[in-house]
Amino acid sequence: MFSFFISMEANWSLLLQIFFCLALLLGQAKPDPDPLQDYCIADNQSPLFTNGVPCIDPNNAKPSHFTTSVLSKPTSASTSQFGFNGTVINTVDLPGLNTLGMTMSRIDIAPKGSVPPHSHPRASEVTICLKGQLQVGFVDTSNRLYQQALRPGDSFVFPKGLLHFLYNPDSRVPVLLVSGFSSQKPGTQFASRAAFTSIPDIPDEVLKNAFKITNQDVIRIRRSLGG
Q: What is the amino acid identity at position 10?
A: A
Torsion (CA) 209, 214, 219, 223 in degrees, nearest 10: -90
CA nearest neighbour of 124 among 162, 159, 166: 159
Global confidence as pTM: 0.81
Domains and CATH numbers, the chain: 58-187 (2.60.120.10), 194-224 (no CATH)
Helices (H), 28-77: none
One digit per residue, the tens of pLDDT, for the chain of length 227 reads: 545 444 555 556 665 566 555 555 445 445 677 777 788 888 888 887 777 788 999 999 999 999 999 999 888 887 788 999 999 999 999 999 999 999 999 999 999 999 999 999 999 999 999 999 999 999 999 999 999 999 999 999 999 999 999 999 999 999 999 999 999 999 999 999 999 999 999 999 999 999 999 999 999 999 999 87
Phi and psi (nearest 5°) for 205?
A: -60, -35
Farthest CA pair distance, the chain: 81
Q: In Å, how far are 67, 99, 111, 123, 152 from 171, measured between CA atoms?
A: 35, 41, 5, 31, 17
